[in-house]
Amino acid sequence: MIDILLVILLIIGLIVFLIFLVIGLSLLYLHVVRLITKNKPYNHPKVRDSVRLFSKVIIKLSRVKYTFIGKEKLPKDNFLLFSNHQMYTDPFILLYDLYDKDLGGFAKDELNKIPVIRTWMKRRGILMLDRKNNRNGAETMIRAIKQARNGQPIFIFPEGTRSRNGELLDFKSGAFKLAMKSKKPIYPVVFKNFYKHCFFHLKRINCEVRILDPIPYDEYSNLSTIELSIIVRDKILKSLR
């Protein structure tokens, strides 16, 4: 019995070691890229490659399996992604599968505490959002609007946080100022069944990411942010059912 427990502990220890090794090497790679790409634009090939690699590492470590549907609907640039949020890997999936779109977007302010990650995400056009600081939120939104107006595609999770049980939360209407001010087409994005995923799951969960048909600016230009948030939320909710 003791021998079996020892083997199990050794296996667990090896897995933990390998995970930290992969993360450590990834952070080292990001640090090197950070130095190489200093003063380079968000769509520089090295920045793009680093985004794809690091996002892939996060996805692989999470062990989540999914299908991605609707990529062909997206133009090269000048669009917005409004998505529901079910798992911490959601933004990394968008950054990985749509790496050639050079996405910018929003991330939790907690990532600001990790120097390499902070610099890398800033260089990519990922904005740190402090949800407890209204002034910070307003300034961050202004920067996002500027990036979108300059053509960079932006993703945002208007629920403001993850849904732990898969229920679609209310959308923050303020998130839709990004669309109103930048005047870009909106592509609703649906993450389905990701909330069911667990690292230790043995049974595969059928997770899916789906990009819905766009909402052009001329179809929402006369709406309020509240009205627009309801329309986008309803489209995502309908696809979740």
pLDDT digits (tens, 9 = 90+) for 21-66: 666 666 666 666 666 656 666 666 777 787 888 888 888 888 888 9
If we measure between CA atoms, which residue out of 239, 163, 169, 175 comes closest to residue 208?
239
Domain range 2-240, CATH class: alpha beta
Say how far apart CA 47 and CA 164 lie, in whole Å. Answer: 32
Closest CA relative to residue 51, chosen from 143, 149, 126: 126
- DSSP result, 57-122: HHHHHHT--EEEE-GGG--SSS-EEEE---STTHHHHHHHHTGGG--EEEEEGGGGGSHHHHHHHH
Query: What pTM was estimated for this model as a whole?
Result: 0.81
Domain boundaries, given as residue ranges, for the chain:
2-240
Lowest mean pLDDT across 141-150, 160-169, 206-215: 160-169
- Average pLDDT, whole number, for the chain? 83
- Cβ proximity of 188 and 236 under 8 Å: yes
Give the pLDDT confidence of 110-154 residue by residue, as tens digits: 766 666 666 667 777 888 877 777 777 888 899 999 999 999 999
